[in-house]
Every structure is written in C-alpha cells, then in structure tokens.
C-alpha cells in the first residue's frame, strides 16, 4: 500500500507540483478551501473564537468574493455539520430552487445547443437562474451552530470586496473562456481578470454590508431583492419577489452507510452524489473484498460500480420534497449483490447490464403550496467539522449580475422533456423536470467519514458529475491506501458515469502506463479529459496531539490554513 502511495505521488507530481505546496499539518484547527485567501478568511474567524460553522460561513463568503466563477450569494449549496458536543450530524440543503412559474416544458426543444460556451436557455440568462439559497444557507449555518455574530463572520469577505484581492490563475482562465459573455454584463465587463490584477467588488460590498446589518432577509427582499428580480426579469427570467421571500433552507437527514470499516455520512437527495458513493462502496466491498489493494482490478471494479447508481439517478431522482424516492429499494441487498457480481467478474459491461428497476409503486407527491462550485472543509479545536459544497453551477453561473451578485444557472441541473443531457452529460428523468419551487438534482457530495464514532475525514469536491467519483477516490486513497491528504488529492483519478461509455482519465495527472494498459486489457475505452474534479480534504488523525492533515487540490491551486 505504501509503495503505491509513493508512486502515485511521483506520477502526479510530474504535472501537479509537489502536494506539499497545497497541503499542511495543523494541531488545533484547519480550513481547506480551493483558494488560499478563503482558507485564511476561515482561519481568521477561528482564531477570533469562532467555531467550524462560523469559519465555514466566512470561507464561503470569501470564496463568493474572490472566485465569482465558482460560487457566491447568487448560488446555493449543501453543508454537512458534525457537532462534537452531541455527536450529531446535520445536513443543511440550501440548494437553489426553481421559480414558482417554472414548468416542466420550459427547456424543451433545446435540442442541439447553440454554439459557444454554455449558451442554452438553461445555462445563460434569466431563465437559467434558480432562486439563490446561499444567503439563507449561510445564515442558517451561523444561527444553528455558530457562536459569532453574523457581522464578524462576514467581515473578512467584506474586507476583500472593499480593499480588493489578486485575481487567481484559476479565475483568470475561466474569465478568458467566458470573456465574450462577461463583456455583456454591466458589472463583470469592468473586471480586469488578468492573473495578479487587483479586483475590488464595491457593488457586492454593499450587499455584504446589508447582509451583516439585517441578515439574509436584506437579500431576499427590500432594495436588493427588488434589484435581483428586476435583473433576472430583464434577462428574460420569471423569478418574482414572492419566490425570493418564500425561499427556505431544508434540514435533512444525511445518507449514510458502513463500508470498509468506516461510517460514511454524506449528502441525501436532492443530491444523487452521496447515493452514488454509498452504493458504489457497498458494491466494491463485495466485488473486491474488504481490504482492496490499489491497482487495475480495483479501478476496473470501481468504474463498473458507478454505472448502476448513475442509471438509478437518471430513472428515480428528483426533489425529495416533491417526488418520493425509493432509496431503500435502490440500496436493497439483492440489488447490490447483483451489481457486485457484475462489477467483480472482470468484464466491462454495458450500462444496460446494470439496469435493475426497483420494484415499487412510485407516486408523485403533491407540490407544496408554500412551498462553477467549490468545496471546503473546516475542523475546529473542539472537534466540530463542516463539510460544505457551494456553487453557481457553470463558471460565472448564468453570466449576469444583480446588484453585484453573480446569478447561478442551476436550472441546467433539471432534466428536459426531450431527454437532452445537461452540461455534465447527465440525462435526467421526468422526476427531475423543472417545476414550481422544485430543487434540481445535484451531484454535490459533502462527506464526513467516521471511525469508531469519531470523524476521521472531511472531504468533498467541485466538478459536476465527477464530484462524487473524485470524492470517493480521495477518501479511499487516505482511508484504505494509507496516503497523506496531500498525496491522496494529488494522485491521478478516473471517472465513469455509465453514459457516455468511456472511462475518463486525467491529462493533468496521468495514470501510470501499466495501469492504463491493464484497464484497456479489461476492455475499457479510455478517454482522457483535463481533470476529474477538484477535491478538498482534512484527515483528522486520532493521535493524542489531534493532528489535522489538510489538503487543497493542486488542480485548482488552493492551499489550507490553520494553526
Ligand atoms: O449541483 C451540481 O451537481 C452541479 N451544479 C455542480 C456544478 C459544478 O460542480 C461545476 N463545476 N465545476
């Protein structure tokens, strides 16, 4: 196992740089975000006496300022929180939801996407924007678990927005890719996104000040709420002030299962990501045994293990507040056993071999009347853990602003009547069609893994459908293959989502040729892509000195902070 750890790092190191630049050990508290300034914002709040909830909120807020391509107040996300005092695990769902006037056919007939980057109606402009959940999510995290006033949690982000920050390589690259679209927005057209340029965000600073004074209601109503609605409608959208006022965070029971000697706690629906990971781990335990060695047979079985859950996602997943999901049926032992037999037989199967409809009489619940992405991990000195994934979906969301806030394009995560795939190649079923106040299915999988009752690992990723496969591989690298956090994150990853039928490898972290050849010999068609997601993780070592081994993904250039 140790020998793999070394070789993985050597290989990854060729293109990704030394994992140590992006990882660090701490003894009290740690924040791992995909941007160093954001990690520092969280660490600053921890040093000021805040806990993991306060720090996670501060990190999210800072990310929204310094990387508007990935997340921000115009987006939404999920937070999984471990409270050390009582050992409870709470999942806050602050995912965007569709405006009330949304209807199942609203993106029908898009068919072939117009040329250019992310140009479809579900990806660009007013119809693409869901009602943001981020402000309410931040407020809920701080109100429920935090110890500091919101004002103090917002302070580092406000400072960055007012005084400015240096544009990162990652932001600059995304700005270049979407330059033509950004130039059409009154706020973003003025941004100098060359690497190292100092960017200030005065319009957003005004929103942050209002948030600090009045809480999230300052964004869901009043002048700022009105500005948001006006801007969305001016861009062809259907969002109303009532949609903003009616937005609610949902507290959900996380999804969990035991595998490989650990308790894996992760995102429940509307994420399909946590489900995919839980099912894959159960399949793998049976297909490759409880102590799998790293190597081609494990990678092969892993690729096969994802095909079934991705089919389940397509057929059954939707907003759990509006459709009933047969989770138990989908995870039934007999189904797992059948899929494990296929994943363990050494052959590459077409996705259809894994198609096992669940025996269940589904019915649709009634609709209640009132009814880009970044992952961060925080562990504080008391042992509280926050695992948070936040997003505006595609880079710069729907690529327009409202009062300085970049609006999301989360509506692209709904399926379409015509069966076209979304930006991540995911085809959804009728349960995930747009509908009034409905949340679209997600892959975001903030995860906490426990060992003997104590948190052992905080982990999660950004990167669309690859979020879950990357999260799972990094967790397995640490927990099963003995890698450090930095090694585990830097190591090459694979991805398979059933459809398309290719096994993805990474250009930035190529697999060793012998592994690639062995996977080809199994029958996999291998298609390299630039990278498989961006992962942040903190390993909580169970040593008397409470060592925290934190890593940010070199693929996005982040760095952890703490003490
Ligand atoms: O919720 C989801 O699964 C997507 N909206 C996440 C998008 C994403 O990760 C974009 N990535 N880099």
Any atom of ligand 1 within 6 Å of the Cβ of 413:
yes
Which one, of 446, 426, 441, 424, lies nearest residue 374 by Cα?
A: 446
For residue 126, the SS3 value is: helix
Any atom of ligand 1 within 6 Å of the Cβ of 393:
yes
How confident is the model at residue 3, as a pLDDT?
A: 28
pLDDT above 80: residue 62 = yes
How confident is the model at residue 110, as a pLDDT?
A: 67
User: Distance, CA 43 to ligand 1 centroid (Å)?
Assistant: 26
Which one, of 251, 296, 260, 298, lies nearest residue 278 by Cα?
A: 260
Any atom of ligand 1 within 6 Å of the Cβ of 130:
no
Any atom of ligand 1 within 6 Å of the Cβ of 432:
no
HSE at residue 464, side-chain half, CA atoms within 13 A, is 18
Task: Find how far residue 114's CA is from the centre of its chain.
Answer: 27
User: Distance, CA 321 to ligand 1 centroid (Å)?
Assistant: 21
Q: Which ligand 1 atom is the nearest neighbour of the CA of 534?
A: 12
Q: 506 CB contacts (<8 Å, ≥6 apart)?
A: 492, 493, 494, 528, 529, 530, 531, 532
pLDDT confidence bin for 116, thresholds 50/70/90:
low
The residue from 276, 373, 469, 471 that is catalytic is 373
Structure tokens at 73: 């107040």
pLDDT above 70: residue 73 = yes
Q: Which ligand 1 atom is the nearest neighbour of the CA of 412?
A: 5
pLDDT confidence bin for 6, thresholds 50/70/90:
very low
pLDDT tens digits, 191-247: 999 999 999 999 999 999 999 999 999 999 999 999 999 999 999 999 999 999 999
pLDDT tens digits, 284-320: 999 999 999 999 999 999 999 999 999 999 999 999 9
CA distances from 386 to 278, 439, 554 (A): 20, 22, 21
What pTM does this model have?
0.95
Q: What percent of the chain has pLDDT over 90?
A: 87
Which one, of 536, 531, 539, 541, lies nearest residue 559 by Cα?
A: 536
pLDDT tens digits, 177-188: 999 999 999 999
User: Distance, CA 440 to ligand 1 centroid (Å)?
Assistant: 11
Strands (E), 50-138: 76-83, 88-94
How confident is the model at residue 19, as a pLDDT?
A: 66
Any atom of ligand 1 within 6 Å of the Cβ of 392:
no
Any atom of ligand 1 within 6 Å of the Cβ of 463:
yes
Nearest CA to ligand 1 atom 11: 463
pLDDT above 50: residue 13 = no
Taking CA 140 as the corner, what is the angle to CA 134 and CA 144, rounded to the nearest 5 degrees? 155
Which helix or strand (DSSP H or E) is residue 26 part of? Answer: strand 23-26
Which of 375, 389, 393, 531 for a ligand 1 pocket mutation test, highest count of atoms within 8 Å of Cβ? Answer: 393
pLDDT above 60: residue 355 = yes
How confident is the model at residue 417, as a pLDDT?
A: 80
| Nearest-10 Cα torsion for 442, 445, 446, 448 | 150
Any atom of ligand 1 within 6 Å of the Cβ of 553:
no
Check the CA dihedral 509-510-514-516 and report its sign.
Answer: positive
Annotation marks residue 373 as catalytic: yes
């Amino acid at each position: 196992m140790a020998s793999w750890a070394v070789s993985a790092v050597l290989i990854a190191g060729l293109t990704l740089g030394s994992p140590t630049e992006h990882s660090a050990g701490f003894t009290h508290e740690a924040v791992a975000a995909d941007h160093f300034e954001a990690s520092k914002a969280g660490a600053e709040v921890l040093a000021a006496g805040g806990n993991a909830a306060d720090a996670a909120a501060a990190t999210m807020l800072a990310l929204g300022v310094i990387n508007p391509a990935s997340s921000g107040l115009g987006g939404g996300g999920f937070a999984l929180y471990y409270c050390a005092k009582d050992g409870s695990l709470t999942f806050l769902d602050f995912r965007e939801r569709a405006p009330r006037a949304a209807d199942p056919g609203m993106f029908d007939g898009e068919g072939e996407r117009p040329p250019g980057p992310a140009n479809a109606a579900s990806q660009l402009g007013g119809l693409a924007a869901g009602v943001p959940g981020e402000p309410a999510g931040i407020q809920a995290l701080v109100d429920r678990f935090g110890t500091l006033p919101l004002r103090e949690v917002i302070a580092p982000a406000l400072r960055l927005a007012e005084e400015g920050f240096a544009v990162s390589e990652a932001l600059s690259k995304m700005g270049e890719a979407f330059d033509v679209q950004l130039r059409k927005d009154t706020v973003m057209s003025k941004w100098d996104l060359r690497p190292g340029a100092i960017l200030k965000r005065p319009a957003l600073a005004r929103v942050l000040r209002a948030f600090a004074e009045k809480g999230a209601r300052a964004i869901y109503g009043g002048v700022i709420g009105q500005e948001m609605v006006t801007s969305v409608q001016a861009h062809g959208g259907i969002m109303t002030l009532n949609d903003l006022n009616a937005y609610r965070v949902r507290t959900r029971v996380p999804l969990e299962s035991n595998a490989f000697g650990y308790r894996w706690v992760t995102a429940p629906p509307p994420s399909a990501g946590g489900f995919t990971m839980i099912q894959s781990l159960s399949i793998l335990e049976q297909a490759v045994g409880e102590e799998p060695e790293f190597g081609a047979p494990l990678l092969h079985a892993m690729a096969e293990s994802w095909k079934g859950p991705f089919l389940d996602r397509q057929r059954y997943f939707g907003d759990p507040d509006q459709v009933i999901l047969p989770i138990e049926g989908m995870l039934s032992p007999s189904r797992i056993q059948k899929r494990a037999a296929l994943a363990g037989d050494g052959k590459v199967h077409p996705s259809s071999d894994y198609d096992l409809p669940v025996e269940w009489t589904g019915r649709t619940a009634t609709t209640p009347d009132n009814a880009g992405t970044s992952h961060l991990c925080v562990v504080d000195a008391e042992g509280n853990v926050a695992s948070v994934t936040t997003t505006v979906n595609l880079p710069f969301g729907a690529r327009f602003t409202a009062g300085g806030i970049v609006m999301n394009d989360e509506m692209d995560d709904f399926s379409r009547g015509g069966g076209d795939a979304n930006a991540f190649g995911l085809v959804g079923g009728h349960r995930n069609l747009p509908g009034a106040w409905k949340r679209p299915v997600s892959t975001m999988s903030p995860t906490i893994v426990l060992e003997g009752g104590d948190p052992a690992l905080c982990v999660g990723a950004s990167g669309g459908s690859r979020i879950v496969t990357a999260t799972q591989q990094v967790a397995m690298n640490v927990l099963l293959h003995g890698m450090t956090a930095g090694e585990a994150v830097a190591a090459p990853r694979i991805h398979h989502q059933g459809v398309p039928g290719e096994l993805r490898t990474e250009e930035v972290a190529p697999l060793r040729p012998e592994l690639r050849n062995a996977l080809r010999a199994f029958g996999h068609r291998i298609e390299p892509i630039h990278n498989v997601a961006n992962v942040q993780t903190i390993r909580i070592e169970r040593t008397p000195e409470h060592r925290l081994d934190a890593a940010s993904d070199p693929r996005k250039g982040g760095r952890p902070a703490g003490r």
